């Protein structure tokens, strides 16, 4: 059933050969095709612009007022590429190898290799667009090592790399909007996918200002709608980031892959109050000089300055003498949670650990610390009101990225013909764990350099096909969407949308968060359906359907998270191993490290929606490794 369509032949020749084998659309015929692109972040904007440049007619949709608002802007650290400019031994194969290994061997070799190959073109493209990457005095591009990589392959634009790359594809997109090849629909949210004869042929949207429900038809539909971290309510994602477009497509037949693979980032600012609306990430470069510790004594509420050196537990340095504070994200996160679970957490809530710069300030001097981390210290102070030069920072892990997503083949097509998934919304390249500075790379690879080739292969067969919004399928979908909105507005219960979302977030965080086990997952599988019922019986959504109504927007999204959350738990329960961001308490070594089960779980867990009453059905795409040997990570 799952045909990955990975081409035969040696790894390094697959993509080149495949590009030749793909059918082409005659240049004069491209204008006869309409393509819908939903989401205009890095992946969506780069795809929409590139498709329009080729001659296709593109309709792009975003719930934002402008493509420049997409959450791609928030990526701080950088973007990887195998340029090997610093002459330190990087290569396409090394970037491929690091990404496969970092993903704990749960991604497809051919896709990851292609990503590494394309990485270099991306940097060329962005520089030509005027992206102001950091440079050396000689005028050439500067690179840095990021997230524990052994080579310096990360390109960056101050702490704003995502923002600058997005502005790059936004500039390409507005240029196409100006020529009329892209029609951009701001403040439009996709609420359903329309299928005709088993293929994706359009979408239903809601105009967020007027509430108007509209049909849009096309020869193919591209979703670049981001990840689902906000299922947890508190995450580092933007407030509006949601899974609705992907989830609607899933319910229409697109399989969902590895939903339990979520990434938790260790250095976030902890929750301050019950009214916390989102979490803020601070660059993990802080761990280069900060020392992580908790008081040795349980429940020690003294001021950190009163806790002497021998009363402190620098637990990462104690457990991992060689990597110390620089252990990977998942390890650092899990250990922090453990310390807090044991009662050694700090701060008012006890859900934080210290990240202390006192030694660094003494060793390097305050000026150097300011030079390296000044902006992060300011940001921390702005949010917490505490000065990290004087009192250790408090940090805690937070959900940050989702590796899982809709399943795609080598052409980035989902299990629905004509439906393509790009960027964080697909599951393809990061396996069970994403490396730092790789998200931007993947989004742009998909949009600039993969989809524009692969989509033609599908479209050639559709020449002359006349798709009209008059088709009955559009009317049916529209009626469904309107009915759902009407239902949300008429429940008129006693709990707000946020209140229920917060409860879902807690269930997921407790049971499908950093460490998972059978009992917890079963608890989640029991609680989530009940909460979903509670939502449909007791939610209160104010306002009407035909006006700008943020509460209604949120309600629709939370309703979908309440279904997706259950699938996340189901997938986590099925995966009887620990790998990457997925840690099962039952599967760990004597030293509490993750224990993979390659014999039974070297596959992509892909879920098919089977209707409201039946559980989703699991399909497996077995992963074959011909070019790398499966090894165990060790940071001791």
Partner 1 sequence: MRVTLKVWRQQKADSQGSFESYPVENVSEDMSFFEMLDMLNDQLVLAGKTPIAFDHDCREGICGTCGLFINGRAHGPLTGITTCQLHMRSFKDGKTIIVEPWRAKAFPVIKDLIVDRISFDRMMEAGGYISINTGGTPDANEIPIPKANADEAMDAASCIGCGACVATCKNSSAMLFVSAKVSQLTLLPQGQPEREIRVKNMVAQMDKEGFGSCTNTGACEVECPKEISIIHIARLNREFIKSSF
Query: Which residues are designated catalytic?
Result: 329
Helices 550-574/497-511 angle, 10° precision: 20
For the CB of residue 54, give the shortest distance to partner 1 in the complex, in Å. Answer: 8
For the CB of residue 83, give the shortest distance to partner 1 in the complex, in Å. Answer: 7
Quick note: the x/- pattern for partner 1 over 441-460, rule CB under 8 A, is -------xx--x--------
Nearest to 98 by CA among 147, 133, 143: 147
Per CB under 8 A, the list member of 2, 74, 196, 618 interacting with partner 1 is 74
Candidate segments 66-74, 87-95, 256-264, 352-360, binder of partner 1 by CB under 8 A: 66-74
Half-sphere exposure of 72 (CA within 13 A, CB side): 37
For the CB of residue 237, give the shortest distance to partner 1 in the complex, in Å. Answer: 9
Per CB under 8 A, the list member of 66, 387, 589, 632 interacting with partner 1 is 66
Which residues, other chains included, contact 334 with Cβ-Cβ below 8 Å and sequence gap of 6+? 514, 515, 583
> How many CB atoms are located within 10 Å of the residue 240 CB?
17
For the CB of residue 19, give the shortest distance to partner 1 in the complex, in Å. Answer: 12
Residue 153 interacts with partner 1 (CB under 8 A): yes or no: no
Site for partner 1 in 103-122 (CB under 8 A): 121
Nearest to 183 by CA among 302, 329, 37, 26: 37
Phi-psi region of 91 (alpha: psi -120 to 50; beta: other; left: phi over 0): beta
Quick note: the x/- pattern for partner 1 over 158-197, rule CB under 8 A, is x-x--xx--x--xxx-xx-xx-----x-x-----------
Residue 548 interacts with partner 1 (CB under 8 A): yes or no: yes
Name the 3-class secondary structure at 424: helix
In whole angstroms, what is the distance from residue 584 CA to residue 129 CA?
45
Nearest to 227 by CA among 436, 513, 37, 427: 427
Per CB under 8 A, the list member of 138, 299, 464, 611 interacting with partner 1 is 138
In whole angstroms, what is the distance from residue 427 CA to residue 38 CA?
17
Site for partner 1 in 1-60 (CB under 8 A): 46, 49-50, 53
Site for partner 1 in 258-277 (CB under 8 A): 272-273, 275-277
For the CB of residue 399, give the shortest distance to partner 1 in the complex, in Å. Answer: 15
Residue 439 interacts with partner 1 (CB under 8 A): yes or no: no
Per CB under 8 A, the list member of 193, 218, 231, 238 interacting with partner 1 is 238
- Residue 73 or 112: the one with the smaller Cβ distance to partner 1 is 73
Find out whether 507 and 524 touch, Cβ atoms under 8 Å.
yes
Residue 517 interacts with partner 1 (CB under 8 A): yes or no: no
Candidate segments 24-32, 96-104, 156-164, 350-358, binder of partner 1 by CB under 8 A: 156-164
- Residue 177 or 369: the one with the smaller Cβ distance to partner 1 is 177
Site for partner 1 in 352-381 (CB under 8 A): 379
Residue 239 interacts with partner 1 (CB under 8 A): yes or no: yes
- Residue 45 or 406: the one with the smaller Cβ distance to partner 1 is 45
> How many CB atoms are located within 10 Å of the residue 513 CB?
24
Residue 68 interacts with partner 1 (CB under 8 A): yes or no: yes
Half-sphere exposure of 162 (CA within 13 A, CB side): 20
Residue 71 interacts with partner 1 (CB under 8 A): yes or no: yes
Name the 3-class secondary structure at 158: coil
- Residue 145 or 160: the one with the smaller Cβ distance to partner 1 is 160
Per CB under 8 A, the list member of 387, 518, 542, 632 interacting with partner 1 is 542
Site for partner 1 in 385-424 (CB under 8 A): 385
List phi, psi (to 5°) of 326: -100, 20
Residue 61: its H or E element = strand 57-61
- Residue 439 or 623: the one with the smaller Cβ distance to partner 1 is 439
Which residues, other chains included, contact 180 with Cβ-Cβ below 8 Å and sequence gap of 6+? none
Residue 490 interacts with partner 1 (CB under 8 A): yes or no: no
- Residue 380 or 427: the one with the smaller Cβ distance to partner 1 is 380
For the CB of residue 199, give the shortest distance to partner 1 in the complex, in Å. Answer: 26
Residue 382 interacts with partner 1 (CB under 8 A): yes or no: yes
Site for partner 1 in 308-347 (CB under 8 A): none
Three-state SS sequence of 301-359: CCCHHHCCHHHEECHHHHHCCCCHHHCCHHHHHHHHHHHHHCCCCCCCCCCCEEEECHH
Nearest to 276 by CA among 186, 175, 188, 352: 352
- Residue 273 or 614: the one with the smaller Cβ distance to partner 1 is 273
Residues forming a β-bridge with 582: 579
In whole angstroms, what is the distance from residue 336 CA to residue 393 CA?
14
Rg of the Cα atoms in the chain? 24
Per CB under 8 A, the list member of 130, 343, 374, 615 interacting with partner 1 is 130
Site for partner 1 in 578-617 (CB under 8 A): none
- Residue 2 or 391: the one with the smaller Cβ distance to partner 1 is 391
Q: How many residues bind partner 1 (CB under 8 A)?
A: 84
- Residue 130 or 615: the one with the smaller Cβ distance to partner 1 is 130
In whole angstroms, what is the distance from residue 289 CA to residue 283 CA?
12
Residue 540 interacts with partner 1 (CB under 8 A): yes or no: yes
- Residue 133 or 535: the one with the smaller Cβ distance to partner 1 is 133
Nearest to 110 by CA among 96, 91, 90: 96
Q: Tokens representing 202?
A: 């359009």
- Residue 76 or 333: the one with the smaller Cβ distance to partner 1 is 76
Quick note: the x/- pattern for partner 1 over 272-311, rule CB under 8 A, is xx-xxxx-xx------------------------------
For the CB of residue 473, give the shortest distance to partner 1 in the complex, in Å. Answer: 32
- Residue 130 or 365: the one with the smaller Cβ distance to partner 1 is 130
Which residues, other chains included, contact 397 with Cβ-Cβ below 8 Å and sequence gap of 6+? 264, 265, 266, 268, 332, 333, 336, 337, 514
Nearest to 144 by CA among 77, 75, 73, 72: 77
Residue 295: its H or E element = strand 291-295
Residue 537 interacts with partner 1 (CB under 8 A): yes or no: no
For the CB of residue 188, give the shortest distance to partner 1 in the complex, in Å. Answer: 13
Find out whether 564 and 556 touch, Cβ atoms under 8 Å.
no
Residue 234 interacts with partner 1 (CB under 8 A): yes or no: no
For the CB of residue 200, give the shortest distance to partner 1 in the complex, in Å. Answer: 24
In whole angstroms, what is the distance from residue 349 CA to residue 531 CA?
26
């Amino acid at each position: 059933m799952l045909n990955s369509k990975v081409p035969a032949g040696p790894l390094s020749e697959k993509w080149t050969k495949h590009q030749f084998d793909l059918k082409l659309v005659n240049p004069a015929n491209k204008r006869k095709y309409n393509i819908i692109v939903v989401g205009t972040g890095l992946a969506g904007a780069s795809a929409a612009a590139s498709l329009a440049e080729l001659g296709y007619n593109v309709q792009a949709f975003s719930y934002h007022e402008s493509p420049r608002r997409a959450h791609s802007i928030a990526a701080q650290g950088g973007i990887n590429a195998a340029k090997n400019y610093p002459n330190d031994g990087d290569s396409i194969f090394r970037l491929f190898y690091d990404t496969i290994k970092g993903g704990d061997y749960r991604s497809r070799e051919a896709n990851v290799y292609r990503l590494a190959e394309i990485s270099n073109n991306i940097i060329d493209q962005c520089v030509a667009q005027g992206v102001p990457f950091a440079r050396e005095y000689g005028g050439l591009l500067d690179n840095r090592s990021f997230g524990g990589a052994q080579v310096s392959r990360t390109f960056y634009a101050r702490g704003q790399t995502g923002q600058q790359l997005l502005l790059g594809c936004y500039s390409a997109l507005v240029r196409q909007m100006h020529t009329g090849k892209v029609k951009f629909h701001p403040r439009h949210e996709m609420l359903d996918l329309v299928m005709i004869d088993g293929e994706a042929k359009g979408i239903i949207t809601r105009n967020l200002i007027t509430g108007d429900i509209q049909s849009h038809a096309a020869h193919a539909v591209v979703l670049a709608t981001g990840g689902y971290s906000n299922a947890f309510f508190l995450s580092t994602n933007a407030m509006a980031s949601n899974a609705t477009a992907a989830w609607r497509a899933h319910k229409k037949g697109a399989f969902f892959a590895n939903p339990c693979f979520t990434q938790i980032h260790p250095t976030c600012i902890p929750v301050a109050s019950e009214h916390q609306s989102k979490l803020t990430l601070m660059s993990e470069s802080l761990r280069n000089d900060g020392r992580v510790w908790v008081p040795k004594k349980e429940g020690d509420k003294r001021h950190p300055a009163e806790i002497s050196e021998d009363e402190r537990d620098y637990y990462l340095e104690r457990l991992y003498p060689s990597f110390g504070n620089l252990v990977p994200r998942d390890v650092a996160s899990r250990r922090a949670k453990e310390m807090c679970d044991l009662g050694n957490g700090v701060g008012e809530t006890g859900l934080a650990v210290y990240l202390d710069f006192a030694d660094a300030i003494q060793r390097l001097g305050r000026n150097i610390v300011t030079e390296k981390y000044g902006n992060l210290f300011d940001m921390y102070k702005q949010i917490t009101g505490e000065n990290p030069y004087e009192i250790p920072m408090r940090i805690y892990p937070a959900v940050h990225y989702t590796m899982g997503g809709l399943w795609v083949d080598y052409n980035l097509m989902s299990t629905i013909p004509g439906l393509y998934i790009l960027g964080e919304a697909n599951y393809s390249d990061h396996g069970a764990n994403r490396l730092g500075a790789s998200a931007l790379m993947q989004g742009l690879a998909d949009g600039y350099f993969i989809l524009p080739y692969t989509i033609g292969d599908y479209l050639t067969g559709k020449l002359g096909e006349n798709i009209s919004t008059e088709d009955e399928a559009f009317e049916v979908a529209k009626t469904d969407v309107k009915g759902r909105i009407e239902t949300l507005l008429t429940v008129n219960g006693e709990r707000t949308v946020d209140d229920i979302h917060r409860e879902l977030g807690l269930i997921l965080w407790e049971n499908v968060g950093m460490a998972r086990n059978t009992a917890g997952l079963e608890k989640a599988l029991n609680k989530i359906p009940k909460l979903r019922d509670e939502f449909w019986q007791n939610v209160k959504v104010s306002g009407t359907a035909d006006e700008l109504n943020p509460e209604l927007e949120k309600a629709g999204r939370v309703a979908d998270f309440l279904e997706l959350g259950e699938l996340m738990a189901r997938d986590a329960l099925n995966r009887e191993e620990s790998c990457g961001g997925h840690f099962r308490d039952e599967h760990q070594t004597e030293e509490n490290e993750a224990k993979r089960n390659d014999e039974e779980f070297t596959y992509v867990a892909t879920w098919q929606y089977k209707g409201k009453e039946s559980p989703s059905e699991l399909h497996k795409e077995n992963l074959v490794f011909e070019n790398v040997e499966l090894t165990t990570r060790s940071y001791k």
